[in-house]
Amino acid sequence: MRFLEERIRRDGIVREGNVLKVDSFLNHQMDIELFTEMAKEWKRRFADRPVNKILTIEASGIGIAAIAAREFGVPVVFAKKSKSINLDYDNYSTQIRSFTHNRNYEVIVSKKFLGTGDHVLIIDDFLANGCALMGLLELAEKAGAAVEGIGIAIEKGFQEGGRTIREQGHRLESLAIVESMDAATGEIVFRQTDC
């Protein structure tokens, strides 16, 4: 995925606190040509998996997941952030800690849209400490859905999420893995991969 790395190098901004801003093409303004290339790459990497649904999380995963879903020919379900305590039994819910906002929030998925018999591919924009992914994995587990794989646009390899998820035995395909980044110089180093 050299073109994603090149785009990050060109338009990504490294901020203090290990935050990489990619809002000009990924999670505010969205480059759909880029998303289409990313979706094709996930389709290639997960060609052997029987995916019938894409699962993502509100908000910034939705755009990427929607384009990926078109490539796979399946629907997207996104975990919704819920403001009220979830008292209804029609949803699966879990708590997630936000890396960017440093607080906990609840997310829900309706039982109508995720259940046993589903084979999901989880898609998200970033993987940092892995809290968002852990929440999505928990929702899939509660629903009895099989997780066929996880596709991430940008993994921050210097944070623990990727290692934790891989150690759990999940097939995790990150299209760009940032090994290190420096807010003072703006330098970004990517992990070398075979793909």
Residue numbers of the site for ligand 5GP (CB under 6 A)? 19-22, 27, 60, 99-100, 124-133, 156, 161
List the structure tokens of 95. Answer: 């708590």
Cα Rg, the chain, nearest whole Å: 16
Closest distance to ligand 5GP from the beta carbon of 116 (Å)? 26
List the structure tokens of 76. Answer: 């997207």
Is the CB of 2 or the CB of 101 nearer to ligand 5GP?
A: 101
Closest distance to ligand 5GP from the beta carbon of 131 (Å)? 3
Is the CB of 13 or the CB of 52 nearer to ligand 5GP?
A: 13
Is the CB of 69 or the CB of 153 nearer to ligand 5GP?
A: 153
Q: Taking the alpha carbons of 193, 50, 159, 29 in that order, is the dihedral positive or negative?
A: positive
What are the E-state strand segments in 37-171? 53-57, 76-82, 91-97, 104-110, 119-127, 146-156
Collapsed DSSP state (helix, strand, coil) of residue 143: helix
Closest distance to ligand 5GP from the beta carbon of 124 (Å)? 5
Q: Are 175 and 4 in contact (CB under 8 A)?
A: yes
Is the CB of 88 or the CB of 141 nearer to ligand 5GP?
A: 141
- φ, ψ dihedrals at 71, nearest 5°: -65, -40
Is the CB of 51 or the CB of 79 nearer to ligand 5GP?
A: 79
- What is the Cα–Cα distance from 130 to 34, expressed in whole angstroms? 24
- What is the Cα–Cα distance from 165 to 172, expressed in whole angstroms? 7
Closest distance to ligand 5GP from the beta carbon of 126 (Å)? 4
Is the CB of 101 or the CB of 112 nearer to ligand 5GP?
A: 101
